């Protein structure tokens, strides 16, 4: 079989074209954040304002928004959490919103593999819906849509959605304290190393739990390790002085 030079040139041209890469109009972003013992990941695409009117026009009020561009924005976490005080099972969810002037609905949707909004929206797939009050940004406008975690602590953090002159925030609460207390109860014993007693005492002290128990554990840690580092004794001093 003969391959003409014109046909060969077409194949080479097609292969060369397939190898070309162009930047996405909306940049791709992935965020990982640990809150206590819970791992969070957000995957989304970040549209720009580009001199457009955003909320109320490009993103209509009262309609479901994919909360970004292109594929569904997704959020996943490996432990059950609470969102604005409401329970949500561990897993991966599509993160949708319904913006309005005075209130937003934040929706955790069980299906997350889709381009744009869900074509066949099913209320049965809404794992959780919470409300949040939008805040007007005073001194800045964000050209690029942004999702971020703020006020990150052992037991909670805020998930913030911000674009143009609007910011919306929901609180994420983890089960860190309950998980650590269970771990201590099940694993700490007379054979545990000094560092485990120190960490248990430090956790109790940091979270203002049973002071007497914290003092007992730090004393045990010091007894177990004759060459205990200075911060062992520093913690003992703090617990003795801080009568919380």
DSSP 92-142: EEEEEEE--SS-EEEEEES----BSS-SS--GGGEEEEEEE--EE-SS--E
pLDDT tens for the 244 residues of the chain, in order: 445 555 445 444 555 555 788 777 788 999 999 999 999 999 999 999 999 999 999 999 999 999 999 989 999 999 999 999 999 999 999 999 999 999 999 999 998 887 767 778 899 999 999 999 999 998 889 999 999 999 999 999 999 999 999 999 999 999 999 999 999 999 999 999 999 999 999 999 999 999 999 999 999 999 998 887 889 999 999 999 988 8
What pTM value is reported for the model? 0.82
Rounded distance between C-alpha atoms, residue 136 and residue 150, angstroms:
17
Report DSSP state, residue 73: P
Phi, then psi, of 232 in degrees rounded to 5: -60, -50
Tokens of 153: 């602590």
Q: What's the pLDDT score for residue 5? A: 56
Q: What's the pLDDT score for residue 117? A: 73
| Rounded to 5°, angle at Cα 176 from 172 and 177 | 120
Report DSSP state, residue 90: S
Rounded distance between C-alpha atoms, residue 104 and residue 160, angstroms:
12
Those residues with Cβ within 8 angstroms of residue 44's Cβ, 6 or more apart along the chain or in another chain: 28, 29, 67, 68, 73, 74, 95, 145, 147
Q: What's the pLDDT score for residue 119? A: 74
Report DSSP state, residue 54: T
From the number of C-beta atoms within 10 Å of its C-beta (0-12, 13-18, 19+), residue 116 rates as exposed
Rounded distance between C-alpha atoms, residue 10 and residue 223, angstroms:
80
């Amino acid at each position: 079989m003969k391959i003409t030079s014109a046909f060969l040139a077409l194949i080479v041209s097609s292969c060369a074209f397939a190898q070309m890469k162009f930047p996405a109009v909306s940049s791709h972003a992935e965020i990982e954040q640990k809150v206590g013992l819970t791992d969070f990941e957000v995957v989304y695409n970040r549209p720009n304002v580009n001199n457009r009117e955003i909320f109320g026009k490009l993103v209509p009020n009262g309609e479901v928004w994919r909360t970004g561009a292109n594929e569904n924005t997704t959020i996943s976490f490996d432990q059950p959490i609470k969102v604005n005080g409401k329970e949500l099972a561990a897993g991966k969810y599509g993160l949708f919103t319904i913006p309005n002037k005075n209130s937003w609905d934040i929706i955790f949707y069980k299906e997350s593999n889709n381009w744009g909004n869900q074509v066949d929206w099913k209320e049965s797939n809404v794992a959780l819906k919470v409300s949040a009050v939008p805040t007007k940004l005073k001194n800045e406008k964000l050209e690029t849509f942004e999702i971020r975690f703020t006020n990150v602590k052992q037991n909670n953090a805020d998930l913030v959605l911000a674009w143009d002159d609007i910011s919306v925030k929901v609180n994420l609460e983890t089960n860190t304290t309950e998980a650590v207390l269970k771990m201590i109860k099940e694993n700490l014993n007379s054979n545990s190393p000094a560092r485990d007693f120190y960490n248990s005492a430090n956790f109790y002290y940091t979270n203002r739990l049973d002071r007497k128990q914290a003092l007992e554990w730090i004393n045990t840690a010091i007894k177990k390790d004759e060459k205990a580092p200075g911060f062992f004794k520093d913690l003992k001093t703090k617990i003795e002085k801080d009568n919380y």
